[in-house]
Amino acid sequence: MTEKLELLEEHRSFDGVQRKYRHYSTVLGCDMTFSLFLPNKEKFEAPPLVWWLSGLTCTDDNFTHKAGAQKKAAELGLALLMPDTSPRGDDVADDADWDLGQGAGFYLNATQEPWARNFRMYDYIVTELTGIVREAFGLTGAESIMGHSMGGHGALVIGLRNPGRFRSISAFAPIVNPMEVPWGIKAFSAYLGENQENWAESDASKLLAKHDGKQVPILIDQGTDDGFYDGQLQPEKLAEIADEKGYPLTLRMQNGFDHSYYFIASFIDEHLEFHQKHL
């Protein structure tokens, strides 16, 4: 697959290299971009991989440019992989609202028209992009996954559905119970249809409640001044389920922090250290 990748950017960053690629996705039926940070290959020949899934309206650039993760990743010897948040292009279905359509893929496989043809982000992450980075970059070792907001939802769902694959999961201000909040209800109704029985496999709270397999440690940070906290996020719901099940989940309420990348940049080093401990 290496010859199918187009290198768009390459920058030396601390003791590593930050790159951005474009490729055609057969799963999504459009061109996609992703960003990849690799630590010094002379020091870390086969680094473990940490996935980052971004939130609504974002691309792979938001984390790369704003989180300040490269310094700690280089120090710990971690590769970082940042996909885009949805399929994109003139021929890809879209919506006038910012919380549906392009930039709002919700990391699921849509079953309803006009979304079903392109919006298959779960398969893209778990299967297609996984195959590309393993073949092209030799990243075949241990993996962890993290994300922010909609991407925190994606990290939790993908991590819980693939517990044998990921060593740890973390999230900043995640949507933990999308079946019960406006963002999730709107997206799930459009992408998955009105039958809510089909929604549960894309809801972290539902997945954790019935989870009886391998336990993957989870770390969640939530800002107390996050404007979306009460109406859209409510991470304590997931923490309560974890507590009832004896599941290893740590929820940290961070006083005064909001939903922005200033919040993410303040604690990203601790999240990377959390993952490195389990990788």
Pairing between strand 143-148 and 49-53? parallel
- The dihedral sign for the CA sequence 37, 73, 251, 166: positive
Number of neighbours of residue 172 by Cβ within 10 angstroms: 29
Single-letter amino acid code for the residue at 114: P
- The dihedral sign for the CA sequence 38, 40, 44, 45: positive
Beta strands in the chain (DSSP E): 6-12, 16-25, 30-39, 49-53, 79-83, 143-148, 166-172, 218-223, 249-254
Catalytic residue among 35, 144, 149, 202: 149
Catalytic residue among 86, 226, 271, 275: 226
User: What is the distance between the alpha carbons of residues 67 and 92, in angstroms, rounded to a whole number?
Assistant: 29
Hey, which residues does 145 pair with through a beta bridge? 51, 169
Task: Let me know if 211 is a catalytic residue.
Answer: no
DSSP 38-67: EE-TTT-SS--EEEEE--TT--HHHHHHHS
Task: Let me know if 260 is a catalytic residue.
Answer: no
Task: Let me know if 149 is a catalytic residue.
Answer: yes
Catalytic residue among 148, 211, 259, 275: 259
Residues catalogued as catalytic: 149, 226, 259
